Homo-oligomer: A and B are copies of this chain.
C-alpha cells in the first residue's frame, strides 16, 4: 500500500518522522547505572496522529530492555498529547507543548495493571535539531520523588 499524505494536523510534528538510533544512559536511586542502545520510529497512516514505537537494548548484551508504543497528537498550536503503553503493565497519558524542535510533556494520567510497579510521574524533554534527537526523562516511581532517570542522543537513520 502506498504511503498516504501526512495529515495536516500533525504536520507541525513532521520533524519527528523516521527511524532514529542512538545510545543512552540511565540512573535511578533503586537500580545500578546502566547504558543502552535505542531505536525510535515515528510514522503515520494519514490520520491525525503520529505512530510511535521505541525499543531499548542493553548496550553490552544487546538484549531488549524497555519498550513503548503509542500515538502522538497535536491538539492546538504548539500543544500535543501522547498516549503510550509500556510492557511493564503501565499506560501513560502525557500532555505538553512544542516550540520548534523542543518538546516538553508531562504525565496527566498513569494507569497500571494490578501487578505493575508503581510509576507516579514522567516528564519528557525532547530536543530535535535536524537529524539529531536528544531527550531527558524524569521519573517518580516506586516511592522515589521526580528524579532524572534517562538521557539519550539518537540520529535519524531513515
Considering only residues 68-119 of chain A, those with a C-beta below 8 Å from chain B are 69-71, 73, 75, 81, 83-87, 89-93, 95, 108-116
Residues in B neighbouring A93, C-beta threshold 8 A: 89, 91, 111-113
Q: Is A145 an interface residue (CB 8 A)?
A: no
Contact of A73 with B113 at beta-carbon distance under 8 Å, contacts A45-B67, A92-B91 already known:
yes
By a CB distance below 8 angstroms, the chain B residues around A27 are none
What are the residues of chain B within 8 A of A87 when measuring CB–CB? 47, 49, 51, 71, 73, 83
Determine chain A's interface SS by DSSP, over half rule: strand
A60 to chain B, nearest CB (A): 16
- Interfacial residues, chain A to chain B (CB-CB below 8 A): 1, 4, 45-47, 49, 51, 53, 55, 62-64, 67, 69-71, 73, 75, 81, 83-87, 89-93, 95, 108-116
| Residues on the B chain within 8 Å of A110, using CB | 111
Q: How far is the CA of A110 from the CA of B112 in the complex (A)?
A: 10
